Structure 1
Amino acid sequence: MISSFTPILANVYFPIAILMLGLGLWGQPSLAYLCSPLWLAQEETSNDALEEAQKYNQQGIELMKLGDYAEAVEAFQQALEIYPNSEKIYSNLGIALGHDRRFDEAVNAFQQALEINPQNWETYNNLGIALGSQENYEQAIAAFQEAIDLNPDAPMSYHNLAVAYIKQEKWQEAITALEAAQERYANLGQIEVVELIDRVLSDLRQKLEPPSS
Structure 2
Amino acid sequence: MSTTATRQALVIGASRGLGLVLTDELARRGWHVVATVRRDSAELRDVTRAREGRVEVETLEMTSPHELAALRERLTGRALDLLFVNAAVDRGDLPIGEVPTAMFTEVMVTNALSPLRALEALHPLVVPGGTVAVMSSEQGSVSLNTEPGYELYKASKAALNQLMRSYATRHADDGRTKLLLDPGHNRTRLGGPDAPLLPEESVPLLVDVLEAHSGTPGLRFLDRHGAEVPW
**Could you tell me the TM-score, scaled by structure 1's length?**
0.31
Q: Which has the higher contact order (CA 8 A, sep 6+)?
A: 2
Based on CA coordinates, which of the two structures has the bigger radius of gyration?
1
**Greater per-residue helix proportion:** 1
Of Structure 1 and Structure 2, the greater strand share is in 2
